[in-house]
Chain A
Amino acid sequence: SQTIHQWPATLVQPVGSPLSLECTVEGTSNPNLYWYRQAAGRGLQLLFYSVGIGQISSEVPQNLSASRPQDRQFILSSKKLLLSDSGFYLCAWKGAKNIQYFGAGTRLSVL
C-alpha cells in the first residue's frame, strides 16, 4: 500500500534562517506531488506541484522553492524565512481516481 511521510512534525525557526521540509512517498512510482500551506484561519493554498523528477510548477510567488531530486521525494525550501512563512505545510500525492492523499503535515513557526 502507498504511504506518505513528512518530517519534521513541528519546527520553530528564527527569521532569516533556512528551511528544508522533506516529503517521501512509498508504494507508487512517478506520482504527482504537491505542497500546500494552511495559514492560520485560512484554507489550503497550493504552493508547488510536480509531475516528475526535476519538474516543478510554482503557483504562488513567494519566499519558498521546491525540488524533486528523486521520483518519490519532494522538498520544500527557503534560504531566509520570513514571519509570514509560518503555517501548516502539507505534502500530498495523487492516487487513483484523481484523489490526493495528504501527509500528516509540518507545523512551522517562524519567530
Chain B
Amino acid sequence: DQQVKQNSPSLSVQEGRISILNCDYTNSMFDYFLWYKKYPAEGPTFLISISSIKDKNEDGRFTVFLNKSAKHLSLHIVPSQPGDSAVYFCAASDTSGTYKYIFGTGTRLKVLA
C-alpha cells in the first residue's frame, strides 16, 4: 500500500517558468511533510518542509502548499533554473511516533535552458 504517491515520474519545464511537483498521501495521521532533492549517486538533500498546522511555507524560490482535506501537497519552484534538474521526493511523517518517513517514488524534473 503506497501511502505517499507522486504520480508524475517526470516533468520538463523551461528555464524561468514555474515548476509544480505534486504529492498525495492517504494516511490522515501524517502531520509533517518534507521535500528532498536528489542528484544521481548522491544522498537526498533537504529542501523545505511544512507542518500540518500550516497550509503554506516559503523559502526563497521554493514554496510548499498543503491541502489537508485533499491530502495533497505541492512544491512550486519559481523561477526554475537548470540547476534545479534533479529527482524530487516528498516524504510524510507522523511526529507522534518514531519520526519515520514514508517517501514517494520521486519526480524527475528537467529544466530546459
Binding site for B on A (CB under 8 A): 6, 32, 34, 36, 42-46, 49, 51, 57, 59, 88, 90, 92, 94, 97-105, 107
Nearest A-chain residue to B31, judged by Cβ: A98
Q: Are A32 and B98 in contact (CB under 8 A)?
A: yes
Q: Are A57 and B98 in contact (CB under 8 A)?
A: yes
Q: Are A43 and B93 in contact (CB under 8 A)?
A: no
B89 interfacial contact with A, CB 8 Å: yes
A99 vs B98: C-alpha distance when bound (angstroms): 12
Residues in B neighbouring A92, C-beta threshold 8 A:
43
Q: A97-B49, A99-B46, A107-B41 are in contact. Are A43 and B98 (CB under 8 A)?
A: no
Tell me how many residues of B have a C-beta within 8 Å of chain A. 24
Q: Are B49 and A99 in contact (CB under 8 A)?
A: yes
A49 vs B45: C-alpha distance when bound (angstroms): 19
Q: Are A46 and B100 in contact (CB under 8 A)?
A: yes
Q: Are B101 and A46 in contact (CB under 8 A)?
A: yes
Residues in B neighbouring A57, C-beta threshold 8 A:
98
Residues in B neighbouring A45, C-beta threshold 8 A:
103
Q: Are A43 and B99 in contact (CB under 8 A)?
A: no
Binding site for A on B (CB under 8 A): 6, 32, 34, 36, 41-46, 49, 89, 91, 93, 95, 98-106
Chain B nearest CB: distance from A106 CB in Å?
A: 10
A59 vs B3: C-alpha distance when bound (angstroms): 15
Q: Are B32 and A98 in contact (CB under 8 A)?
A: yes
A103 vs B45: C-alpha distance when bound (angstroms): 9
Q: Are B49 and A103 in contact (CB under 8 A)?
A: no
Q: Are A104 and B34 in contact (CB under 8 A)?
A: no
From B32, B34, B42, B105, give the contact of A43 (CB < 8 A). B105
A59 vs B32: C-alpha distance when bound (angstroms): 20
Chain A nearest CB: distance from B10 CB in Å?
A: 12
A37 vs B93: C-alpha distance when bound (angstroms): 18
A104 vs B43: C-alpha distance when bound (angstroms): 4
Q: Are A90 and B43 in contact (CB under 8 A)?
A: yes
Q: Are A102 and B44 in contact (CB under 8 A)?
A: yes
